[in-house]
Amino acid sequence: MSARMPERLELVCPAGTPAALRVAVRAGADSVYVGFRDETNARNFPGLNFSREELAEAVAFAHRHGVRVFVAVNTFPRAGEQELWHRAVDDALALGADALILADLGLACYARRRHPEARLHLSVQASAANPEAIALFRELAGIRRVVLPRVLTVGEIRALTEAIDVETEVFVLGGLCVMAEGRCLLSSYVTGRSPNMNGVCSPAEDVRYAEEEGMLVTRLGPVTVNRFGPGEPAGYPTLCKGRFLACGRASYLFEEPVSLSALEVLPALARAGVRAVKIEGRQRGRAYIEKVIRTVRAAAEAVAAGRPVPAVDLHELTEGGRETVGAYDKRWR
């Protein structure tokens, strides 16, 4: 199929808590994505996510304002313990979710078999980045939308969109994962838990901060992840963004702390046939949620009207105080 520029980019926004969901809805989200308070979603942190009762109330509130709710069930079920994930699929749809965001092919097939009318989206955790992989999920599980990994250029996204009969959604703002989504095991080497299986990267209970010789030292379990000098921005200690000693020199071996900010390429993404743009940040606070949604909404409205994207400065909200367009134009390392 050929890529078509959508009349208006759908804005898919994070909601880590019921309070954040209400802020997101009022700030201009078209859709919000949420998760249950367990291992079935990839943001399984203390203080985040929704109980069944909270989700029912959230869906009712969002629908009153014309906003859709997507439920992420995007971790991979453990062998022989699928019941938790099956229950999440069944409950989310029973409570009125407009779509499920799934990563595991088996779970997606279960959802299609039990709920043939349900709208299913393929999570970025599935790391599906070629027409054959996406076509397989569509054929076997009826996937209607794919959230593309953050490793593709705009040109590659255009070619992919033209080759598939599935809507595409891409991240434009927020955290940037250096690993191929759904394939990272770094956290499990140190803590025994990973985002893919347990929904948590660098779990908070394994994180330690200490003052040593005038420096802020961050550790994950027994591993020193970074040392920050006075006034140096300190990010959350994930291994992929750690500064390690190698060949006698301390450096960021995988990726420097930096956030994705790709609003400048929104017109190109729209021309490439992208249907929806997504903001990362279910772990972020309400003030962050409101500001970034209003900013991205203004940018999307400008694209729809054929106007230039407004210049914005989200410097104070980015990780490490730095931004990147990411792989969209290959300036990302």
Mean pLDDT for 244-267 is 86
Average pLDDT for 156-163: 96
Q: Please list the residues that pair with 215 across neighbouring strands.
A: 212
Q: What is the DSSP letter of 310?
A: P
pLDDT digit string, tens, across residues 303-313: 999 999 988 77
Q: Report the pLDDT averaged over residues 229-233.
A: 85
**Dihedral through CA 180, CA 263, CA 69, CA 136, nearest 10?**
-40
Task: Specify whether 302 is located in the same domain as 197.
Answer: no
Give domain status of residue 1, yes or no.
no
Which of the listed residues 213, 232, 252 is the one where a domain comes to its end?
252
Q: Indicate whether 167 and 298 sit together in one domain.
A: yes
- Quote the pLDDT of residue 260: 87
208 and 130 in a common domain: no
Are 44 and 160 found together in one domain?
yes
Domain membership flag for residue 3: no
Look at residue 5 and tell me if it is in a domain. Answer: no
Domain final residue pick, 230, 252, 274: 252
Phi/psi-derived region of residue 182, left when phi > 0, alpha when psi is between -120 and 50, beta in every other case: left
Asked whether residue 231 is domain-assigned, the answer is: yes
- Sign for the CA dihedral angle at 254, 258, 261, 264 comes to negative
DSSP E strands, 18-176: 31-34, 68-73, 99-102, 120-122, 145-147, 167-174
The total number of structural domains in the chain stands at 2
Q: Are residues 71 and 165 in the same domain?
A: yes
Residue 232 belongs to some domain of the structure: yes
pLDDT the model gives residue 311: 84
List the structure tokens of 260: 């994705």
Same domain for 172 and 190, yes or no, is no
Does 172 share its domain with 200? no
181: Cα within 13 Å, side-chain hemisphere? 26
Whether residues 87 and 225 fall in one domain: no
Same domain for 66 and 123, yes or no, is yes
Domain extent at residue 227: 186-252
Domain for residue 320, yes or no?
Answer: yes
* 161 and 33 together in one domain: yes
Residues 34 and 118 in one domain: yes
Question: Exposed, middle or buried: residue 231 (CB in 10 Å: 0-12, 13-18, 19+)?
Answer: exposed
Do 16 and 66 lie in a common domain? yes
At 312, list the tokens. 């914005």
Q: Give the Cα separation of 174 and 224 in Å (integer).
A: 25
With a threshold of 0.85, does the pTM exceed it?
yes
pLDDT at 318 exceeding the cut of 70: no
Q: What is the number of other CB atoms lying within 10 angstroms of the CB of residue 113? A: 10
Q: In angstroms, rounded to a whole number, what is the distance separating the alpha carbons of residues 226 and 224?
A: 6
Among 226, 252, 278, the domain boundary falls at 252
Query: Could you tell me the pLDDT band of residue 333, with boundaries at 50, 70 and 90?
Result: very low
